[in-house]
Structure 1
Amino acid sequence: MDNPRYHYVESWLLPELSLRATVYHLRPGHDRTQTHYLDIGDYGPCENKKWRAESHYLHVVARPGRAPELLGIDDLLTAHAAGQFDTARTHQAIERAAAVVDGLAACSHDVDRWLAGQGITLTWL
């Protein structure tokens, strides 16, 4: 990644939630508020030591103590209009994103707390 703000990136694939959870670790001098990017999609193993990741264009940006932002709805609808996503899959992606936003709201916008309620504990470097 060629961005002077970022030191490194970590991601977890969470197929049971149809999510990829990502944290961008920033270099000193940049906003240090930890932000999680939760990408909606289909994730899972496809071969030995290989995983398949298919983004559904929707991203929930979660910052501690702040309402999450849902991004990418315009991209998903453009993909749907172009025939890349059928109506059922488009609705499913929107429903998954809404469930993430609702889940975060019920946990005071705390990603780790929400994931713990799903039986998932992530560790970050």
Structure 2
Amino acid sequence: MAALHPPKVEVFDPAARANIDPKGIRREVEEYREEPFGLYLARPTPGRAQFHYLESWLVPGLGLRLTDFWFSPGHERDQDFYLDVVRVRRDGPRWVATDLYVDIVLKDKLSLRVIDTDELLEALAAGVVTAEDARYALETTYAAVEGLAAHGYDLTAWLSTKDIALTWRRHP
């Protein structure tokens, strides 16, 4: 279990082509693309040994950030996508995502694993998150797990039922 921490907040600024991480570090973004259902970004991850590139979609209507990490040799993980449970709000042209601890590790068309519920429950017990945020995080997780399971853990198939078509650089 990770040390107790408040929810991590990340800023996505398409106009400035910037991504400001929870520590306040500004990262240059190669590509932003807004769609009616969400925001896409693609950027390198300098200084990260585990992965060298990432692509993410913020999908506010599902309460998810879906990420494809491009793992570096020797750091591969048995996953295709990583789904963070988030609350997303707009601040003018910027998108602000608050991570609500719970994550889903997806092996596309095979399986999923829900992780970090312990962090959410610890944060709730310590008063770091509200009961409303905890309920939202769990209900968002349940909805995603139910949707993915009903579609054979096929991300594209599940999202198509929501009229969401994601595009990725590595996944046709």
TM over 0.5: yes
- Counterpart among 87, 90, 95 of residue 42 in structure 1: 87
CA deviation vs aligned residue, 1:18-61 (integer Å, no higher than 9, x gap): 1111001234576586611111110132122x111101101011
User: Hey, what does 1:52 align to over in structure 2?
Assistant: 96
Say whether the 8 Å CA contact 1:20–1:43 is kept in structure 2: no
- 2:164 partner SS: coil
What secondary structure, in the 3-state scheme, does the structure 1 residue paired with 2:144 have?
Answer: helix
Separation in 2, partners of 1:57, 1:30? 23
Which consecutive unaligned segments of at least 5 residues does structure 1 have?
Answer: none
What is the Cα deviation at residue 9 of structure 1? 0.6
Q: How does 1:44-83 map to 2 (within 5 A)?
A: 44-48=89-93, 50-83=94-127
Deviation at 1:70, TM superposition (A): 0.5
Counterparts of 1:8 and 1:58, CA distance in 2: 22
SS of the equivalent of 2:129 reads: coil
| TM, length-normalised to structure 1 | 0.88
Task: Verify: 1:14 aligned to 2:59, yes or no.
Answer: yes
AA aligned opposite 2:140:
R
**What's the offset of the Cα at 1:3?**
3.8
Report the alpha carbon displacement of residue 4 of structure 1 after superposing the two structures with TM: 3.6
TM-score normalised per structure 2: 0.65
Count of equivalent residues: 124
1:73 Cα shift? 0.3
Flag structure 2 segments of 5+ consecutive residues without an equivalent: 1-44
Does 2:128 correspond to 1:84? yes
Higher strand share: 2
More helix by share: 1
Percent of aligned pairs with the same residue? 36
Matches of 2:114 and 2:79 in 1, distance apart?
17
Aligned counterpart, 2:159 = 115
Q: Secondary structure at the match of 2:89?
A: strand
Task: Give the aligned CA root-mean-square deviation in angstroms.
Answer: 1.9
Q: Which runs of 4+ in 1 moved over 3 A?
A: 1-5, 27-34
Change in Cα spacing, 1:32 to 1:71, as seen in structure 2 (3 Å) is closer
